[in-house]
Amino acid sequence: MPFKIADDPETNYRELVRTAYNRCARDYAGQRSTTPEAELDLITKHLIPGSKVLDIGCGAGIPVARHFAETFSLTGIDISSNMIALAKKNVPTAKFVIADVMETEFPAGSFDAIVSFYAIFHIPRQEHQDLFRRFAQWLRPGGLLLFTVAKYDDGPGYTEDDFFGGTMYWSNFGPSTYKKFLTDTGFQIEQEGTVGGGSKSANAPEEVHPFFFAIKREGL
Ligand X SMILES: C[S@@+](CC[C@H](N)C(=O)[O-])C[C@H]1O[C@@H](n2cnc3c(N)ncnc32)[C@H](O)[C@@H]1O
Stretch that binds ligand X, among 43-51, 74-82, 105-113, 183-191 (CB under 6 A): 74-82
How many CA atoms within 13 Å lie on the side-chain side of 39?
27
Give whichever of 127 and 217 is closer to ligand X, judged by the CB atom: 127
- Residues touching ligand X: how many (CB under 6 A)? 21
Supply the minimum distance, in Å, between the C-beta of residue 78 and ligand X. 4
- Please check whether residue 87 is in contact with residue 76, taking contact to mean a CB–CB distance below 8 angstroms: yes
Percent helix, strand, coil in the chain (nearest 5)? 35, 30, 40
Question: Per rule CB under 6 A, is residue 80 in the interface with ligand X?
Answer: yes
Supply the minimum distance, in Å, between the C-beta of residue 162 and ligand X. 15
Stretch that binds ligand X, among 44-52, 73-81, 178-186, 202-210 (CB under 6 A): 73-81
Question: Per rule CB under 6 A, is residue 32 in the interface with ligand X?
Answer: yes
Question: Per rule CB under 6 A, is residue 58 in the interface with ligand X?
Answer: yes
Burial class (CB in 10 A: 0-12, 13-18, 19+), 88: middle
List the interface residues with ligand X, window 95-124 (CB under 6 A): 100-102, 117-119, 122-123
- Please check whether residue 44 is in contact with residue 70, taking contact to mean a CB–CB distance below 8 angstroms: no
Distance CA 214, CA 7 (A): 32
Select the residue whose beta carbon is closest to ligand X and give its number.
59
Burial class (CB in 10 A: 0-12, 13-18, 19+), 45: exposed
Supply the minimum distance, in Å, between the C-beta of residue 141 and ligand X. 25
Give whichever of 148 and 185 is closer to ligand X, judged by the CB atom: 148
- Please check whether residue 99 is in contact with residue 119, taking contact to mean a CB–CB distance below 8 angstroms: no
Give whichever of 69 and 123 is closer to ligand X, judged by the CB atom: 123
Question: Per rule CB under 6 A, is residue 144 in the interface with ligand X?
Answer: no
Q: Please give the backbone phi and psi of residue 128, each rounded to the nearest 5 degrees, phi first.
A: -70, -35
Residues that bind ligand X (CB under 6 A): 17, 21, 32, 57-59, 64, 77-80, 83, 100-102, 117-119, 122-123, 198
